[in-house]
Amino acid sequence: MNIVIISGTIVSNINFKFIYNRYRKKSKYTSIASFYIELENASIIKIYGYDNMADFMYKNCKFGNKVICDGIIDNDGNVAIKEAEKLEH
């Protein structure tokens, strides 16, 4: 995995889910939020975060907001966010 810092505009609604699987051991995480972001070069990538970051994303991010995110690229080319900040216009 690689560290990445990206900036762009949210181009989808925020998808928030609770994680629960009664047949497996307790999950490391309890919630996940995800959305798609359009970068400066018109690329669109999926962004996701767990627990506290998922709460921040769900409460503070909306379609059309500009954000800057710090995270890691996973094996599928998506970005797992560790820190994020909404940029003011």
HSE of 5, CA atoms in CB hemisphere, 13 A:
1
Q: What tens digit of pLDDT does each residue of 20-75 get? A: 666 566 667 788 999 999 999 999 999 999 989 999 999 998 999 999 999 999 88
Adjacent-strand bridge partners of 35: 47
Residue 8, pLDDT > 80, answer yes
Nearest to 47 by CA among 89, 4, 1: 4
Cβ atoms of residues 77 and 15 within 8 Å: no
Neighbour tally for 22: CB within 10 Å:
5
The pLDDT score that the predictor gives to residue 21 is: 64
- pLDDT-derived band of residue 86, with 50, 70 and 90 as boundaries? confident
